[in-house]
Amino acid sequence: MLKGKALVFSAPSGSGKTTIVRHLLSVRPDLKFSVSATTRPPREYEMDGEDYHFLSRKDFEDKISRKELLEWEEVYDGIYYGTLRSEVTRIHDQGYHVVFDVDVVGGANIKKTFGDGVLAVFIKVGSIESLIARLKGRGTETEESLKMRVEKAQQELQYEKLFDVTLINEDLDHALKQAETIVSNYLDN
Q: What are the pLDDT digits (tens) for 28-85?
A: 999 999 999 999 999 999 999 998 999 999 999 999 999 999 999 897 788 999 999 9
User: Helices (H), strands (E): how many in the chain?
Assistant: 7, 9
In this structure, what CATH number is given to the domain that contains residue 36?
Answer: 3.40.50.300
Split into its structural domains, the chain has a count of 1
Residue 139 within any structural domain of the chain: yes
The answer on pLDDT for 184 being more than 60 is: yes
Residue 41 lies in a domain: yes
- 189 domain residue, yes or no: no
Contacts of residue 176, defined as CB under 8 A and 6 or more positions apart, other chains included, come to: 20, 23
Distances (CA, A) of 136 to 15, 129, 139, 149: 12, 11, 6, 11
Identify the pLDDT of residue 151. Answer: 85
Residue 133: what pLDDT? 79
**C-alpha angle 27-163-54 in degrees, rounded to nearest 5:** 65
Which tens digits make up the pLDDT trace of 119-164? 999 999 877 787 777 777 777 778 888 888 788 888 888 999 999 9
The residue segments making up the domain with residue 114 are: 6-184
Cα separations (Å) of 34 from 7, 78, 97, 158, 172?
A: 10, 22, 10, 25, 23
Alpha carbon distance 59, 55 (integer Å): 6
Asked, for residue 170, whether it belongs to a domain, the answer is: yes
Single-letter amino acid code for the residue at 95: G
Would residue 1 count as lying in a domain?
no
Is the predicted pLDDT of residue 2 greater than 80, yes or no?
Answer: no
**Which residues pair with residue 79 across a beta bridge?**
76
| Residue 34 pLDDT | 95
DSSP class of residue 52 equals: B
Asked whether residue 115 is assigned to any structural domain, the reply reads yes
Alpha helices in the chain (DSSP H): 17-27, 57-65, 85-93, 104-114, 128-138, 143-156, 172-187
Query: Does the pTM exceed 0.75?
Result: yes
- Residue 126 in any domain: the answer is yes
Q: Does residue 109 lie in a domain region? A: yes
